[in-house]
C-alpha cells in the first residue's frame, strides 16, 4: 500500500528512518519498502510504499523526525492516515433453502441462500456449482452482504425428478471438505463436522471454504 506525503516546502534526504509504521493487529512484519519523490528532489510530494504483513488489522504511517532532511519540519510528530487491512479470505458457513423453503418441491425455479463469514463482493456464478440437474445459476442477489441469494433455473429442471444441490466451486488445488446428508421431508439444519483453514488472501471472493448445500428432492 502507498501513502502520499506532502510537505509545505521541497525537501531531500527522506529515508525510512524518518518514518514510523503503526501496526495494530497485523501479523508478520509490515515494513517500508519504497520511498519515491513524484519529481526530482528536492520535492514537496513523496510516495511511501509499505508491505502489509498478514492477518487482519490496521496500519498507519507517521513522520517521526526530520533527521537528515534538507529542510526543517516544524510539526513533528505528524500522524498520517490509517488503513484497515484484511488478508483473511471469507468462508462459507452454510447453505439453506430460501424459495421454496420446503422439500420435496415441484417448483421450476429454486433459490438458495448462502451465508459467508463476512460481507463479500464480486460474487458470481463461477463461484458455485449446481449438482443433480442441467439447470444453471440465472441470478445472484449479493449487494455486498454476508447472505447472497442464488437462483437456479432452466435446463431440465421443469421436468426433473431427483435431488438438486448447490456447492461452492473451489480451485482444483484447494483442499475440500463436503458435509452431506440424506434428504428428508423436513431436514435438520446443516452441521459442519470439519472446517478448512482458508489461505490468507485479499478480501475478495477468491477463495472459499467448501460446504454442501441442503438438497432439494423434487416431486412431480
Which letter does DSSP use for residue 144 in this model? T
Q: What are phi and psi of 128, to 5 degrees?
A: -135, 165
Residue bearing the bigger pLDDT, 179 or 14: 14
Listed as own residue / partner, the contacts of 155-159 with beta carbons closer than 8 Å and 24 or more positions apart are 157/108, 157/109, 157/110, 157/133, 158/108
Residues 66-99: pLDDT tens digits?
999 998 888 888 999 999 999 988 888 888 888 8
pLDDT digits (tens, 9 = 90+) for 185-212: 333 332 322 222 333 333 323 333 344 4
Residue with cell 537528515: 68
pLDDT of residue 220: 52
Confidence band (pLDDT; 50, 70, 90) for 42? very high
Question: Contact at 8 Å (CB) between 67 and 43?
Answer: no
pTM given for the model = 0.61
Task: Say whether pLDDT at 129 is over 70.
Answer: yes
If you compute the radius of gyration of the chain from its CA atoms, what whole number of angstroms results? 26
Q: Is the pLDDT score of 177 beyond 80?
A: no
Per-residue pLDDT band for 216 (boundaries 50, 70, 90) equals: low
Mean pLDDT of 144-151: 83
Mean pLDDT of the chain: 78
Q: Could you tell me the domains of the chain? A: 2-86 (no CATH), 89-181+191-220 (2.60.40.1220)
Question: Which residue shows C-alpha cell 524518518?
Answer: 18
Amino acid at each position: 500500500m502507498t501513502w502520499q506525503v506532502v510537505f509545505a516546502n521541497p525537501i531531500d534526504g527522506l529515508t525510512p528512518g524518518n518514518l514510523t509504521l503503526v501496526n495494530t493487529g497485523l501479523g508478520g512484519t509490515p515494513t517500508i519498502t519504497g520511498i519515491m519523490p513524484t519529481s526530482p528532489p528536492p520535492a514537496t510530494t513523496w510516495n511511501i510504499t509499505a508491505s502489509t504483513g498478514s492477518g487482519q488489522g490496521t496500519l498507519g504511517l507517521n513522520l517521526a523526525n526530520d533527521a537528515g532532511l534538507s529542510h526543517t519540519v516544524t510539526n513533528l510528530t505528524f500522524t498520517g492516515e490509517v488503513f484497515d487491512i484484511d488478508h483473511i479470505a471469507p468462508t462459507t458457513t452454510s447453505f439453506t433453502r430460501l424459495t421454496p423453503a420446503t422439500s420435496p418441491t415441484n417448483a421450476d425455479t429454486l433459490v438458495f441462500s448462502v451465508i459467508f463469514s463476512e460481507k463479500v463482493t464480486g460474487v458470481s456464478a463461477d463461484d458455485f456449482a449446481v449438482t443433480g440437474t442441467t439447470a444453471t445459476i440465472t441470478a445472484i442477489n449479493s449487494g455486498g452482504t454476508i447472505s447472497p441469494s442464488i437462483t437456479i433455473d432452466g435446463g431440465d429442471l421443469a421436468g426433473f425428478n431427483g435431488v438438486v444441490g448447490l456447492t461452492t466451486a473451489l480451485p482444483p488445488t484447494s483442499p475440500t471438505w463436503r458435509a452431506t446428508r440424506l434428504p428428508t421431508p423436513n431436514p435438520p439444519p446443516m452441521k459442519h463436522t470439519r472446517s478448512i483453514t482458508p489461505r490468507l488472501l485479499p478480501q475478495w471472493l477468491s477463495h472459499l471454504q467448501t460446504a454442501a448445500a441442503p438438497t432439494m428432492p423434487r416431486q412431480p
